């Protein structure tokens, strides 16, 4: 009997201990545990997804899509001063090694420095297209880090109330089409995590220098990986286009060559340059031109090719060519 009572008291004691432990977990930040579990699950899911997903970009004729990358934006806190450089390197490496069917032009962004922008601060897609066409670049990826956030977050209840910081990073990913100057993608990404830091002065924000560097780098890696996968998906379905950079009679010089995968004898459809259109916000675009004839490639260099028109008397500089199906 006494032994049974002892066992019952033991069970009650264990139950009370479990209840106390549960309260302590809530009070001391079990939400942190949930955040960690969600974060771990998301990281594992993203890693598995990135391994399984393939972006073949199989295009007619085995052509590769010429792409350039820009990463940068507004000045960031000192703790994030290298964010743009890391983003640029990450995107270029991801597109080059893990996205099939692309041909990366790393010099375009280095020569230009930054994409042209309108007075509003938006990227000038029309001007960017005019700069990209002579290099044969079809799509321009522009990644802009968004304003980082550090916000105070209350935790616990009753005697266990506390404060921690929620750190958020974001970026905007835009892809501009050199044929029209318009966007083929405009998407925003964000990552956040909680960190147990209290402001030195109540009510004042925590300076970025106090945010643990490993946490910042982890958030950046998640952010960059999500943006890179989205860019790959968008670019995988984009068609190849070439641009006429010189014309003499029926002889056309095209800003594409062996690097893109062009071969002698391939037939091209030739389209007029089209006309510019200005919308109500002052942004300019190219309207696709009409087909004016066909041409056959006669000579192929590394970055230039020569084609001869077969069904039209002449074509202008700025004309667009596509591989004939």
The pLDDT tens digits of the residues spanning 39-49 come to 433 443 443 34
Structural domain harbouring 229: 27-47+58-236
Cα within 13 Å of Cα(23), Cβ side: 9
**Structure token digits, residue 19:** 């209840």
pLDDT at site 153: 74
Enter the pTM of the model.
0.79
Residue 250 is assigned to a structural domain of this protein: yes
Q: What angle do CA 87, 243, 315 make, to 5 degrees?
A: 165
pLDDT at site 164: 79
106-139 pLDDT tens trace: 999 999 999 999 988 899 999 999 999 999 999 9
Domain boundary among 236, 253, 278: 236
pLDDT at site 74: 61
Task: Looking at the structure, tell me whether residues 42 and 164 fall in a common domain.
Answer: yes
**What is the total count of domains within the chain?**
2
Lowest mean pLDDT of 5-19, 51-65, 267-281, name the range.
Answer: 5-19
Domain boundary among 218, 236, 254: 236
pLDDT at site 2: 47
Residue count (the chain): 325
Beta bridge partners of 322: 269
3-state SS class at 155: strand
Mean pLDDT over each residue of the chain, to the nearest integer: 80
pLDDT at site 11: 38
Asked if 178 contacts 139 with a C-beta cutoff of 8 angstroms, the reply is yes
Chain mean position to CA 239: 19
Task: Looking at the structure, tell me whether residues 154 and 258 fall in a common domain.
Answer: no
Task: Looking at the structure, tell me whether residues 203 and 306 fall in a common domain.
Answer: no
Task: Looking at the structure, tell me whether residues 230 and 250 fall in a common domain.
Answer: no
Distances (CA, A) of 91 to 13, 137, 230: 56, 16, 11
pLDDT range class, residue 178, cuts 50, 70, 90: very high
> Looking at the predicted structure, is the pLDDT value of residue 15 above 60?
no
Q: How far apart are CA 199 and CA 248, in angstroms?
A: 69
> Looking at the predicted structure, is the pLDDT value of residue 222 above 70?
yes
> Looking at the predicted structure, is the pLDDT value of residue 85 above 70?
yes
**Structure token digits, residue 120:** 């509003």
Task: Looking at the structure, tell me whether residues 90 and 185 fall in a common domain.
Answer: yes
- Mean predicted confidence (pLDDT) in 5-17: 44
146-172 pLDDT tens trace: 888 888 777 656 656 666 788 999 999
Distances (CA, A) of 104 to 87, 98, 260: 15, 12, 10
Task: Looking at the structure, tell me whether residues 215 and 293 fall in a common domain.
Answer: no
Residue 22 is assigned to a structural domain of this protein: no
Asked if 192 contacts 146 with a C-beta cutoff of 8 angstroms, the reply is no
Measure the CA dihedral 172/178/182/184, to 10°. -60
């Amino acid at each position: 009997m006494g032994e049974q009572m002892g066992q019952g008291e033991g069970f009650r004691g264990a139950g009370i201990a479990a209840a106390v432990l549960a309260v302590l977990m809530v009070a001391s930040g079990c939400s942190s545990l949930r955040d960690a579990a969600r974060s771990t699950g998301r990281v594992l899911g993203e890693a598995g997804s990135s391994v399984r997903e393939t972006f073949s970009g199989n295009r007619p004729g085995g052509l590769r899509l010429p792409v350039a990358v820009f990463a940068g934006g507004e000045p960031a806190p000192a703790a994030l001063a290298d964010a743009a450089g890391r983003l640029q390197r990450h995107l270029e490496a991801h597109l080059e090694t893990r996205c099939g069917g692309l041909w990366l032009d790393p010099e375009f962004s280095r020569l230009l420095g930054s994409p042209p922008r309108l007075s509003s601060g938006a990227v000038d897609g029309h001007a960017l297209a005019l700069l990209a066409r002579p290099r044969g670049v079809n799509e321009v990826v522009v990644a802009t880090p968004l304003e980082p956030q550090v916000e105070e977050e209350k935790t616990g209840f009753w005697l266990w109330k506390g404060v921690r910081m929620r750190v958020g990073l974001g970026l905007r990913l835009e892809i501009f089409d050199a044929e029209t100057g318009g966007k083929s993608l405009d998407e925003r990404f964000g990552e956040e995590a909680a960190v147990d830091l209290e402001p030195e002065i109540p009510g004042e924000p925590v300076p970025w220098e106090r945010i643990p560097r490993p946490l910042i780098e982890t958030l950046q890696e998640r952010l960059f990986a999500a943006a890179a996968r989205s860019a790959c998906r968008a670019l995988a379905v984009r068609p190849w286009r070439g641009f006429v950079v010189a014309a003499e009679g029926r002889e056309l010089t095209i800003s594409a060559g062996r690097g893109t995968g062009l071969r002698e004898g391939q037939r091209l459809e030739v389209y007029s340059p089209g006309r510019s259109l200005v919308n109500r916000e002052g942004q300019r675009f190219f309207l696709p031109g009409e087909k004016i004839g066909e041409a056959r490639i006669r000579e192929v260099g590394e970055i230039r090719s020569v084609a001869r028109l077969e069904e039209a008397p002449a074509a202008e500089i700025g004309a667009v060519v596509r591989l004939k199906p």
